[in-house]
């Protein structure tokens, strides 16, 4: 085995042994876990609005529509830059510098999208409502992007496309680093610790929110500067977690 491959395996073994902090890595299960938990924590007013806005096929389950934004990425080509942020190989994030698409259009990144869809949803039940936006789509985008921005490698380096060009091993399978964080970590945890039962994992996280992490909850719920959403804070935490955890020990790309 080449030294390079060995290094990456070691990096991932040590990663696996670490107990994961709250919420990480978003394939379909990751997104659905986030939305299931979120739906139980809404105010009565917000819960009613969500119920009204959810499409019929969601059957009142926010978790079931949380990956809709990934499904429409190709139909709505314009939306694909809205799932992530690229930083210039640095472990910090700045809205002005980093929140743009490949053509340099400002605000076209996941932080800009969270601001965008939050302000659209704030018009719910107001005069501006109905006229301009499909608020069902605004809701489905928002709940998805709130998940994406918390996956460390969705705020990653432009040079490796958020870990998409870095090959690693996850146990016996070859994967790109980004996919490990989107999907593999969660699926392996489900299998190992929850008998492949997603609801068991949801329950365990909810119990932690009630107990272990109770003193952090106020901080998650409130946003400084009187804003309803604070994606810049999440993005800054994301790139820091990417450097401290996701990229750590992954030094070279072997092809």
Ligand X SMILES: *[C@@H]1O[C@H](CO)[C@@H](O)[C@H](O)[C@H]1NC(C)=O
Residues in the site for Zn ion, rule: CB under 5 A?
83, 148
Counting every residue written for the chain, the total comes to 255
Q: How far is the CB of 227 from Zn ion (least distance, A)?
A: 22
A 10 A CB-CB count for 182 gives 28
By beta-carbon proximity to Zn ion, the closer residue of 8 and 31 is: 31
Q: How far apart are CA 216 and CA 99, in angstroms?
A: 27
Q: How far is the CB of 148 from Zn ion (least distance, A)?
A: 4
**Do the Cβ atoms of 160 and 88 come closer than 8 Å?**
no
Q: How far is the CB of 144 from Zn ion (least distance, A)?
A: 6
Q: Quick one: what does residue 85 bind among ligand X, Zn ion, none, with the CB cut-off 5 to 8 Å set by partner type?
A: none
Q: How far is the CB of 40 from Zn ion (least distance, A)?
A: 22
By beta-carbon proximity to ligand X, the closer residue of 17 and 225 is: 225
**Do the Cβ atoms of 249 and 10 come closer than 8 Å?**
yes
Structural tokens at position 199:
């609801």
By beta-carbon proximity to ligand X, the closer residue of 231 and 238 is: 231
Q: Quick one: what does residue 136 bind among Zn ion, ligand X, none, with the CB cut-off 5 to 8 Å set by partner type?
A: ligand X
By beta-carbon proximity to ligand X, the closer residue of 19 and 126 is: 19
Q: How far is the CB of 137 from Zn ion (least distance, A)?
A: 15
Q: How far apart are CA 247 and CA 11, in angstroms?
A: 9
Alpha-carbon distance values, 203 to 49, 188, 194, 197 (Å): 24, 17, 10, 10
Residues 6+ apart with CB under 8 A from 39: 47, 50, 61, 62, 63
Long-range contacts of 125-128 (CB under 8 A, 24+ apart): 125/49
Q: How far is the CB of 19 from ligand X (least distance, A)?
A: 4
Q: Three-state SS for 169? A: strand
Nearest CA-CA partner of 168 in 189, 184, 156: 184
Q: Quick one: what does residue 134 bind among Zn ion, ligand X, none, with the CB cut-off 5 to 8 Å set by partner type?
A: ligand X
Q: Residue 107 interacts with ligand X (CB under 6 A)?
A: yes
Q: Residue 225 interacts with ligand X (CB under 6 A)?
A: yes
Q: Residue 194 interacts with ligand X (CB under 6 A)?
A: no
Give the residues lining the site for ligand X (CB under 6 A). Answer: 19, 55, 78, 82, 107-108, 112-113, 116, 133-134, 136-137, 204-205, 208, 212, 225-226
């Amino acid at each position: 085995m080449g030294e390079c491959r060995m290094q990456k395996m070691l990096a991932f073994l040590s990663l696996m042994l670490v107990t994961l902090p709250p919420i990480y890595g978003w394939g379909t299960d990751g997104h659905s876990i986030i939305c299931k938990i979120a739906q139980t924590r809404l105010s009565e007013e917000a819960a009613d609005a969500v119920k009204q806005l959810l499409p019929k096929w969601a059957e009142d389950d926010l978790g079931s529509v949380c990956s809709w934004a990934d499904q429409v990425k190709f139909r709505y080509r314009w939306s694909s830059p809205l799932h992530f942020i690229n930083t210039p190989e640095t472990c910090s994030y700045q809205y002005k510098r980093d929140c743009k698409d490949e053509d340099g259009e400002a605000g076209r990144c996941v932080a800009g999208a969270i601001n965008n869809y939050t302000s659209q949803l704030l018009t719910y039940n107001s005069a501006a409502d109905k006229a301009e936006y499909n608020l069902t789509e605004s809701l489905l985008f928002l709940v998805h992007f709130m998940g994406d921005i918390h996956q460390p490698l969705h705020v990653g380096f432009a040079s490796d496309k958020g870990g998409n060009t870095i090959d690693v091993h996850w146990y016996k399978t070859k994967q790109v680093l980004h996919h490990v964080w989107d999907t593999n970590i969660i699926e392996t945890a489900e299998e190992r610790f929850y008998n492949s039962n997603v609801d068991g994992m949801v329950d365990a996280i909810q119990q932690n929110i009630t107990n272990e992490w109770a003193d952090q909850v106020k901080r998650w719920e409130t946003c400084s500067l009187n804003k309803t959403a604070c994606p810049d804070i999440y993005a800054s935490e994301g790139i820091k977690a990417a450097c401290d955890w996701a990229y750590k020990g992954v030094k070279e790309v072997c092809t």
